[in-house]
Each structure stands twice: as C-alpha cells, then as structure tokens.
Amino acid sequence: MKRQQFDHISLPYLLIAPQLAIIMIFFVWPAAQAIYQSFMLEDPFGLASQFVGFDNFREVVSSDHYATSAVFTLVFSALVAFLSMAIALLLAVKADGIIHGQSAYKIMLTWVYAVAPAVAGMIGTFLFDRSIGSLNHLLNATGWPFNPQLDVFDASFTVILVSVWKQVSVNFIYFLAGLQSIPRAVREAALIDCRNGFRRFWTVTLPLLAPTGFFVLVINITYAFFDTFGVIDTMTRGAPGGGTATLVYKVYQDGFLGADLGGSSAQSVILMILVLALTVVQFRVLEKRIHY
Amino acid sequence: MKATKTLLAAAAGLAMLGAGAAHAATEITFWHAMGGGLGETVNAIAKDFNASQSEYKLTPVYKGGYEETMTAGIAAFRANEAPNIIQIFDAGAATIINAKGAVYPVASLLNENGVPFHAEDYIAGVRYFYADSKGDMIGMPFNSSTPVLYYNKDALAKAGVEPPKTWEEFETIAPKLKAAGYIALSQSHTPWIFSENFHSRHNLQMANENNGFDGVATEIKYNNEHMRMHFSKAREWQQAGYFGYYGTKWGDNQKPFIDQEVAMWLGSSGSFGGLKSAAKFDFGTTNLPYWNSITKGEDYTTFIGGAALFAFSGKDKAENEGVAQFFKFLTKPETQFFWHKETGYVPITNAAYTLAKETGYYKDEPDAEVGIQQLNLKSAEWNKGYRLGYYVQIREVMNREYDQIFAGTKSVEDAFAAIEDGSNKLLARFAKTVQ
C-alpha cells in the first residue's frame, strides 16, 4: 500500500509552525528562563548574578511556610476539583433527565462560565465582607462565629466556595455533553434490565462517562493549581497568617511583589515538576482504566 | 469639588496633547503609583509644570500599586526602557538604593544640573529616610506621611475621656470606651505602625549596620522585650474587647472606625482627606501614642511612610536637566502646599510648611498639621529611618505571624522568634545578591 504523503516535505512543518511558535514563545522559552534563574542568585535589577547551584531549592524546601503552603495547595486543589466535579455531575445528570424546559436550566447553569476568576473573587469579597456581606451575616446567624479575616479555616472555606462555584459551570457543560453522547439504545437497554436508577448510573452511565470525567479531572486539577490565583488575590491575598497562599500565589508574592527572582523561579520549577508528575500519574494510572 | 477635579484632569489631558503638537520639547516620563484622586493631583502638578516652561514635557503614567510600579520599573530597567523618574515606596527603598548604578542620586542630579541642593531645606523628618549615611539624598521624598491617631469626638465625649498621649493612658480609658459601647482601638498596618514606627517612637534600634544605612543589614532587632511586651498587651486588649484586629488589609481595619464601632483608629496622616468625606461624625487627630515606661517621658518622632521619586541613571543630559527642573518645581513652596492641601501628605520643605502656616491653613484645619508636627518632634539615634533588603517580604512574614498572634494560634514569643528567623534569612539572602 502506498503511504499518503505531501509532495513538499516543508509544507507540514509550515502548517504546524504557528502552533509550535506559540508553544516556544509562551511555554518553552519562559520555562527555560525559570530553570536558568532557579540556579542563580541575582539582585532585582539584574546588575550582578551568580551561580548558586541548588541553594535556592534548598532554601525553599527548608522553609516552614513553604511546607504549609504546599499542604494547603494539595488540600485546596483536591477539594476544589472534587467538589466542583461532583456538584457539576449531579446537576448535569438532573438536567439531562429533564424533558421540558431543559434549555432554561442549561443556560442558568452555564452562564457563570463567563465570570473571570478575579470577578468571582470580587463577588466573594462582597458576599463575605464583615459589615455588608450577606453570606457573612447568614453564617454568623447560624451560630458559627464566622471570621475569615482571622480564622484560616473560615478563609479557606470562602476561597474554596468561590473557586468551586466558578468551576461548576465549566464541568457542567462537559458532563452534559458527555451524557448526551451516550447512545439512546444503551440507555434504553439498561432501563429494561435494571429498574434501580442509582445502580444503572453506577454500572452503565458512569463508565460510559469516564473519558469525559478523566478530561474534566485533568483540567480541574490545573484550574485548582493555577487559575484560582485571581480568586485568592482578590479575596484573601494569602492571609490570614499565610494560611490561604497556594504555591502559585507564593511564586507571585516572592517574585513579583518581593523581587526575589531566584527564589520564586525555584518555586515555579518545583511547581512545574509537581504538576507534570501529577499529570503523568493521571495518564498512567487512571487512563488505563478508562475505555473509550 | 469632584467636577473641578475631573475638569482639571481633562485639562491636563488636553494640555498634554497640545504640548505634543508643539514639538522640540524634551520628553520626560514619570511612573507613579498614585491612583484615583491622588493620581488626578499628580496630573494637575504635571500640567502646571508643563505650562510653566516649554523646554520639557513631563508625562505621568499610573502603573498600579506600589509593588506593581516597582516591578514594572525593574522590568523596564532590565529591558533598557526605564522611565526618567519612578516612585518607589519606603519598603522598596533598599532594593533600588542598593542597585549600584541604577539610580542617579537626587543630590548629585540637582547639583550637576544647575539646581543647587541643600539638605537643610527639607524638614528634619523626611531629610534622611532616602539619603545615604552622609545625608545626601538619593531619592526625592514625594508623598510622605506618618502614622497618627484619629479619634471619634462623640465617642470619647460619651465615655468622658480624652485622647491618649501614651499607651498607659490608653489602658485607663479603654474600659470606659468599652462601657460606652465602643471597641477602643483598631489600626491599619501592623508592620508600619506597630513595628517600624514603634521603634522610631521609642528610639529603639531596628537592625544592625545603623538600621541598614551604613551597610547591608543582616540582623533584625524586632524580637526584643519591648515589642514582645507591646504585642502581649495588644493581644490582652483584643481579648478584653479594647482592641479590634481585622486582618492585614488597610480598609478592613478602617471600616469599623468609619462605622463607629471603633472609637480610635491608627492610620496615616495622609488618610485625613479620605476620612473627612467618609466619616459621618466629628473626628480629631493626635500623635501616635507611646509607652512612657520605655521612653521615660521622651516624645520621639516617627518615620515617614509613603514613597520617594528616584531618577534612573543612563539618561541624556537634557533629560536629566528636565528631571532637575521638575524636582525644583515640585519642591517649590506653592507646589508643596497644593500637594499637602489636596492629599493630606506632609509638605517636605521648611519653606512650604512656613507658607502653609502663614496662609492660616492650620487655623481652619488643625488636624492637617498633626502629621508634620509629629515629624518635627525630638530626633535621636534611631529616628532617621531604616534601609532593609527584601523588606516587602519581611513585612509579609510579619503580617503572617501577627495574624497568628491575634487569632490566638501562636504565642507572642513563638511569633517573634519566627519573625526574627524569617527576616534574618531574607536579609542574608539579599546581602548575597548585592555583593
């Protein structure tokens, strides 16, 4: 059999060049810069620079606050990813089951998608404001001495709530699309075989939804790690007591506010390795169990 | 008033367009961090400067908050696109001053470009903060403020008390204010008011190397008995309902004072204008309290906060002359008085202060004079200022630990040990970068 091939060897390269250029300029080049900077100690103005080996990494890893921030990031990301996926799945299943007025529900549930994280954070700031925040008053009225300005748990609660709220709509769209692509014949067959709706969901719907679920998980982990920056910056700025500073937020605080290039580069390299490792694990372990 | 400001801003915009058309003027760029009403006042000053002569055209550019402006300036410097003038805040002063060759010290810039510089022209409180150890100014103090106490007159009258001069007096009046239904005190910037200025107000050393003026400091002195005592007291006050701590954000701590939940608030002398329009009650201003037990009756001055203007080096002679002319214009008594009146920041020259007094401004607005009076109080060994590297992050460390003291999750001793350790690590790191 004859292999399909372009006549000109350069044409395919030309076609992928724009994409490659974007990756080179916006990912490979800055990542390489970060790796280079993470081994250097440099004054903010770039007047003197020296190679310090792994010193930056050693200082970062030995800092108590970094450890606290790492633990918070993992708990925060796990909760944000899990809650926003679970709530979105529940809503998608329910919306999928509705026959009349489905589009109204769909629109209502998806339009939060248009809200940027920083805007979501501002809405959260108002809702939880000490003097004018309605949610703040509501929570205090339940007897919970809710005080996100001082209590790390309460502050974490507010940023997780807003981050989840912001992400549910995105997940909802994917889950709903996933549910609607399950063949009708399969669903009807299942309906005849099993009358228990809950069981039908676990044994038939969920496995068929798994490819969508896996994709959503990957984007949610990335969202929780990186895109929640806007929510944290507008709501807590890492306070109280540095208890809500995620690793990305710390990179920003040390690098952009504090002008410590070497230290924040080392942090971003660690973060890059961490997220890369997480993604590899996801693909290696989870994807094997998914049937497309 | 609002409309006048808008008109002024619009006029400034038009004037710039006009000046752009009349070419040949040397362009000078000025990056600042003054948003909102302050930004409009900066634009008005730039407009006046441009109208006062035809050789130079100054373009002010708002670059965001203090940190963002500094970061933008650093990035621009690294890309060889630095502006002529940049506004750098107190905590960032060490960063730019230690960048050898990055800035053209103001004293030399003025002297070498036909504007003689005399340190004595500036009021004592602002003279040294941005100067080298010999007293030659490196940065031109621009918006200078100092922490003062604002008090709700109705609240104090209701409790039948006078505003406190000392913390000892505060302890006697706080229960009365509580009985009258108020939390006695809140403050908006724990590192600035309760830490840096605590050291100036009590004439205590803050760091080695003469607070960082004689060399690169590597040792912070915050973990001392006086600081630990003050914060133990503050925590006790908080638990007794005399002191409200509302996190690290400025506005969150000011709000309860405006809402009349809190009777007294420690803020900036520059907060005066904003407070005037926000507070629906009669308030007074007085000096930052001190511990009589520490100063033994002495009433020491405080540090200036705010920011200074730095000129980047490596610019054309003509541009530097323009910068010198602008600084000359900026420090004129009339300009300073205008700035002082519009914003509440203190006038930085003696001549401007005299002018403000002569016009009778303080007769109508006695509160506006408190900041500058406090800056003119007795100065001793440790009231000049401080110059510490990575100080933005050191403040971050302090905020982190203070939050935990006032949340009750960490003891004062442990928190100060952590501040000492964290700060010294940062100072050591900074010392390595500048060597």
pLDDT averages per 10-residue partition of chain B, 435 residues:
49 47 79 91 96 95 93 93 96 90 94 91 87 87 94 97 97 97 97 96 95 93 97 97 95 95 94 87 96 94 93 94 96 94 90 94 91 92 92 94 96 97 94 85
Q: What is the DSSP-derived secondary structure letter of residue B137?
A: B
Rounded to the nearest 10 degrees, how much is the dihedral formed by the CA atoms of A44, A46, A51, A52? Answer: -10
In a domain? residue B118: yes
Give the span between the Cα atoms of A96 and B165, in whole angstroms.
69
Strands A49-51, A40-42: pairing is antiparallel
Whether residue B429 and residue A242 make contact (CB cut-off 8 A), yes or no, is no
Minimum CA–CA partner of A43 in chain B? B433
In a domain? residue B14: no
Residues on chain B touching A48 (C-beta within 8 angstroms): 433-435
Tokens representing B95 are 């960063």
Task: State the sign of the Cα–Cα–Cα–Cα dihedral A209, A214, A219, A221.
Answer: positive
Shared domain check, B135 and B153 = no
Shared domain check, B257 and B211 = yes
Shared domain check, B221 and B196 = yes
> CA angle, A38 as apex, A33 and A42 as ends, to 5°?
90
Q: What is the DSSP-derived secondary structure letter of residue B44?
A: H
User: Which residues, 6+ apart, have CB-to-CB distance to B360 below 8 Å?
Assistant: none
In a domain? residue B6: no
Shared domain check, B286 and B185 = yes
Evaluate if residue A1 carries a pLDDT over 60: no
Digit-coded pLDDT (tens) for A92-132? 998 888 878 888 888 888 888 889 999 999 999 999 999 89
Minimum CA–CA partner of A45 in chain B? B74
pLDDT average, residue stretch A252-259: 89
Kind and range of the H or E run holding B227: helix B225-240
The nearest CA of chain B is from the CA of A270 a distance in Å of 20
The nearest CA of chain A is from the CA of B42 a distance in Å of 24
* Residue range(s) defining the domain that contains residue B170: 147-302+390-434
Shared domain check, B298 and B185 = yes
Which residue among B77, B390, B403 places its CB closest to the CB of A258?
B390
Residues on chain A touching B79 (C-beta within 8 angstroms): none
Which residue among A41, A149, A151 places its CB closest to the CB of B433?
A41
Shared domain check, B181 and B294 = yes
Give the span between the Cα atoms of B391 and B129, in whole angstroms.
15
Whether residue A43 and residue B393 make contact (CB cut-off 8 A), yes or no, is no
Residues on chain B touching A254 (C-beta within 8 angstroms): 393
Determine if the peptide bond prior to B141 is cis (ω within 30°). no
Which residue among A47, A150, A240 places its CB closest to the CB of B102?
A47
- Classify domain A63-291 by CATH architecture: Orthogonal Bundle (1.10)
- How many residues in total does chain A contain? 292
Beta-strand ranges (E) seen in B193-331 are 262-268, 283-286, 305-312
pTM of the model: 0.88
> What's the pLDDT at B2?
45
Shared domain check, B184 and B250 = yes
pLDDT average, residue stretch A70-87: 96
**Which amino acid is located at B338 in the chain?**
F
Give the span between the Cα atoms of B53 and A231, in whole angstroms.
47
CATH number at residue B52: 3.40.190.10
> What's the number of domains chain B is made of?
2
Shared domain check, B258 and B162 = yes
Kind and range of the H or E run holding B346: none
Shared domain check, B358 and B259 = no
> What's the pLDDT at A4?
65
Shared domain check, B125 and B85 = yes
Digit-coded pLDDT (tens) for A21-63? 999 999 999 999 999 999 999 988 988 889 999 999 999 999 8
In a domain? residue B270: yes
Residues of A within an 8 Å Cβ radius of B: 41-48, 50, 59, 63-65, 130-131, 149-152, 237, 239-243, 253-254, 256-260, 262-263
Determine the 3-state secondary structure of A56 from DSSP: helix
Minimum CA–CA partner of A260 in chain B? B390
The nearest CA of chain A is from the CA of B344 a distance in Å of 27
Report residue A196's pLDDT band, with 50, 70 and 90 as the boundaries.
Answer: confident
Whether residue A131 and residue B256 make contact (CB cut-off 8 A), yes or no, is yes
Minimum CA–CA partner of A243 in chain B? B400
Tokens representing A194 are 């099993």
Tokens representing B386 are 């401080």
Least confident of A72-81, A165-174, B128-137, B221-230: B128-137
Shared domain check, B424 and B329 = no
The nearest CA of chain B is from the CA of A85 a distance in Å of 32
In a domain? residue B338: yes
pLDDT average, residue stretch A248-269: 92
Whether residue B74 and residue A45 make contact (CB cut-off 8 A), yes or no, is yes
How many CB pairs lie under 8 A apart between chains A and B? 107
What ipTM was reported for this prediction? Answer: 0.86
In a domain? residue B38: yes
The nearest CA of chain B is from the CA of A41 a distance in Å of 6
> What's the pLDDT at A98?
82
Residues on chain B touching A262 (C-beta within 8 angstroms): 433
Report residue A191's pLDDT band, with 50, 70 and 90 as the boundaries.
Answer: confident
CA A17 to chain centre: 29
Shared domain check, B285 and B309 = no
Which residue among B78, B393, B399 places its CB closest to the CB of A254?
B393
